[in-house]
Structure 1
Amino acid sequence: MKYFILAVLLISTIMAKSVELKTQDFLNGKVSNNKGDTTDTWIVKFFNPGCPHCKRFAKDWDDVANKLSDQGVNYGHVNCVKERPACERFNIWGVPTVLVFKDNHLEEYQGSYDYDSLSKYIINRNYDTSGLSERAAVPQNMY
Structure 2
Amino acid sequence: MEFHVSTCTLFIGIVFLFSQTSASSIGPKSHTILITDNNWNKLLKGEWMVEFMAPWCPACQGFKETWESYATWAEDLDINVAVVDVTDNPGLSGRFLVTSLPTIFHVKDGIFRQYQGPRITGDLISFIEDKRWDKVIPVSWWFSPDSLMMSSLSLFFKAAMFIRSLYSTMTDEYGIPEWGCYVIFALATLLCGFILGLIMVFLVDLLLSTRYFAPPQPPKHVPMPTNQVKEEMEKDDESDIVDDTKDVKGIETVRQRNPQVVEN
TM class, shorter-length: 0.7 to 0.9
Structure 1 pair 4/72, CA: closer, same or farther in 2 (3 Å)? same
Percent sequence identity is 21
Alignment match, 2:128: 122
Residue type of the alignment partner of 2:85: N
CA separation of 1:70 and 1:85: change in aligned 2, threshold 3 A? same
Partner residue, 2:34: 20
The structure that is strand-richer by fraction is: 1
| Alignment partners' CA distance in 1, 2:22 and 2:125 | 29
Say whether the 8 Å CA contact 2:74–2:80 is kept in structure 1.
no
Query: Which stretches in structure 2 are left out of the alignment for 5+ residues?
Result: 1-16, 156-264
**Unpaired segments of 5 or more residues in structure 1?**
32-37
After TM superposition, the structure 1 = structure 2 runs for residues 25-40 of structure 1, keeping only pairs within 5 Å, are: 25-26=39-40, 29-31=41-43, 38-40=44-46
Kindly indicate whether the alpha-carbon contact (under 8 Å) linking 1:68 and 1:119 is maintained by their aligned counterparts in 2: no
Aligned residue pair count: 131
Q: How does 1:1-143 map to 2 (within 5 A)?
A: 4=20, 6-8=22-24, 10=26, 12-13=28-29, 16-26=30-40, 29-31=41-43, 38-132=44-138, 135-137=139-141, 138-139=144-145, 140=147, 141=151, 142-143=154-155
Higher RCO (CA-CA < 8 Å; seq separation 6+): 1
User: Which is higher, the Rg of structure 1 or of structure 2?
Assistant: 2
Question: As a proportion of its length, which structure holds more helix?
Answer: 2
Separation in structure 2 between the aligned mates of residue 48 and residue 60 of structure 1, nearest angstrom: 15
2:230 aligns with none
Deviations 1:73-96 (A, max 9, x none): 111100011111111110111000
Specify the code of the residue in structure 2 equivalent to 1:127: W
- Confirm or deny: 8 A CA contact 1:80 1:87 kept in the other structure: yes
